[in-house]
Structure 1
Amino acid sequence: MKHPTGPMEYTLAAYGAVTKNQTLLQIAYDQCRLYRDALRIPEAGIWAHIYNDDRQSFGDKGLWATGNAWAAKGMLNVATIIEKSTDHMGDQVSDLKGWVKEILNGTFARLTQDSDNLVPNYMDNSGNANGNDTFGDAAASALLAATAYRAVTIWPEDFDSYYTDKARE
């Protein structure tokens, strides 16, 4: 199980919205929830990279920045689709917003001057056995910043200026 909320969940949510099928919207939400349940490292507030459900163990417990960025942006997309399509899934939208916020908080907390204010590629320095392959990840940082700006634009009551300030760093 790798990071979710890429094309499948987004496409499923979009199709559910277009066809006015709340079951598909719920399935898209459930996919995000199940991935979070499997991959979230509570003490870090962000998600590990790969979990093997058959073995009930992590294939890569590293806190990979790009995967967290994909997850945050994907959940933001699913939340906005659900929010615009139905009035009956407010709890799910609230959950998704909270999960986006968890990832943004967890990753922004790892910004350092040493990495030129870029989120580290592996935020726990676990990319390889030596723990020495961590670098400032421009792609992850850009997607996290875009997610923060989008969240603040859509939901200013839930995402305050902290998120745009961190995104600017």
Structure 2
Amino acid sequence: MDPNQAVNKVKQALLSMQRFSWEQGVTAQAMLELGETDYVILMAKDAVVRQDELGRLGMLSDSNGVTDAAANGEPVLFAWKATGDPLFKLAADKMLDYLLHHAPKTEHGILNHTVDHRQVWVDSFYMAPPFLAAAGHPEEAVKQIDGFRSLLWLTDKQMYAHMWDDEKQAYVREDCWGVGNGWAAAGIVRVIKALPDSMELERNRLIGYLKEVLAGCLIYQRKDGLFHDVLDNTESFVETNTAQMLAYAIFNAINENWIDDSYLDAARRMRAAANTKVDEYGLVQGVCGAPTFSKAGTAPEGQAFFLLMESVAF
């Protein structure tokens, strides 16, 4: 399929899907990076319509989430700057106030992923820190990245575990989930890009974090360019979105001169493999599938990361 045709079909399929808060956010982010600004504003409007009393944007029935809703923050900020409508500014400020002052955190100030358990998940790398940085709190964004890493990084495996229970001081899920490591890599990329020039030390540290997770994950890239759902478990299903997420991170990092071209072949093989998974309707097949994310299927985040990957691929 022609690349432009694939992008259009994947976009069309994505816009036809039902979306929870983080799915709305990553969809709007994909539209932003494609330059589809009208879609960004429309999606931001609906995220504001569905903002709850706590300040969380785009809420449906996923009311347990702490950080997921913040994925809408960057699109809402963009909509405010593009339109000047104070409604967007108020909504972004409420989301920010929730993260800074009301969201449940560990004793060291690191955001929990859910309201009902004192748990830190690798997913949160992508959801909250990029918005914090874009909203004028880059120090807090870096603090959260450092905190997530301190709890979830498995030094022996050079990858991230999925879930840490801060109350039990133990992993709920120690598996090196592919999409989770993709959330981490992509989230770190978005934070680095948002840091001011004055934070050079922090930028270099985060680039180091990005290099180490890429190195750890690439060990497990299959010959077909894809990865298993649990990266180091070949009995887990072969999954598509990890490749898209890591390719997005690598293409960005090469474009920004954070890493060298030695990563390019791996990223291009990921991209080629993902493109073979786009079916006649534009659905990216074989991603960690909604709604349970426990088997291969389709999902808005899988559609969105195909578009994010394509927006920076070369």
Task: State the TM bucket, normalised to the shorter chain.
Answer: 0.7 to 0.9
Q: Does 1:44 align with 2:180?
A: no
The alpha-carbon deviation at position 112 of structure 1 amounts to 2.2
The alpha-carbon deviation at position 7 of structure 1 amounts to 2.6
- In structure 1, the partner of 2:222 is 112
Q: Deviations over 1:9-58 (max 9, x none)?
A: 11111001xxxxxxx21110010011011000001111000011111100
* Aligned match for 1:11, one of 124, 131, 135: 131
The alpha-carbon deviation at position 88 of structure 1 amounts to 2.3
Structure 1 length normalisation: TM-score?
A: 0.84
Which sections of structure 2, spanning at least 5 residues, go unmatched? Answer: 1-119, 270-314
Q: Secondary structure at the match of 2:128?
A: helix
Kindly, what percent of the aligned residue pairs are identical? 28
Q: Distance in 2 between matches of 1:159 and 1:53?
A: 34
Q: Distance in 1 between matches of 2:250 and 2:171?
A: 28
Q: Distance in 1 between matches of 2:262 and 2:245?
A: 17
- In structure 2, the partner of 1:102 is 212
- In structure 2, the partner of 1:167 is 267
Q: Secondary structure at the match of 1:6?
A: helix
The alpha-carbon deviation at position 117 of structure 1 amounts to 2.2
Q: Secondary structure at the match of 1:122?
A: coil
Q: Distance in 1 between matches of 2:173 and 2:232?
A: 12
* Residue correspondences, number: 149
- In structure 2, the partner of 1:32 is 145
Larger gyration radius, structure 1 or structure 2:
2
Q: Deviations over 1:89-137 (max 9, x none)?
A: 1111011111111111111111123xx2202110122xxxxx83x1222
Q: Distance in 1 between matches of 2:213 and 2:139?
A: 21
Structure 2 length normalisation: TM-score?
A: 0.46
Q: Secondary structure at the match of 2:171?
A: strand
- In structure 1, the partner of 2:256 is 154
* Aligned match for 2:240, one of 131, 135, 138: 138
Q: Secondary structure at the match of 2:255?
A: helix
- In structure 2, the partner of 1:62 is 175
- In structure 1, the partner of 2:121 is 2
Q: Deviations over 1:56-85 (max 9, x none)?
A: 100000000001001111011101100xx2
Q: Distance in 2 between matches of 1:41 and 1:123?
A: 13
Q: Which amino acid aligns with 2:229?
A: N
Higher relative contact order (CA 8 A, sep 6+): 1
**Contact 2:225 2:266 (C-alpha < 8 Å) held by counterparts:** no
- In structure 1, the partner of 2:84 is none
**Contact 1:117 1:136 (C-alpha < 8 Å) held by counterparts:** no
Q: Distance in 2 between matches of 1:91 and 1:108?
A: 26
Q: Distance in 2 between matches of 1:2 and 1:54?
A: 14
How large is the RMSD of aligned CA atoms in angstroms?
A: 1.3
Moved over 4 A (4+): none
Q: Does 1:75 align with 2:188?
A: yes
Q: Distance in 1 between matches of 2:213 and 2:176?
A: 11
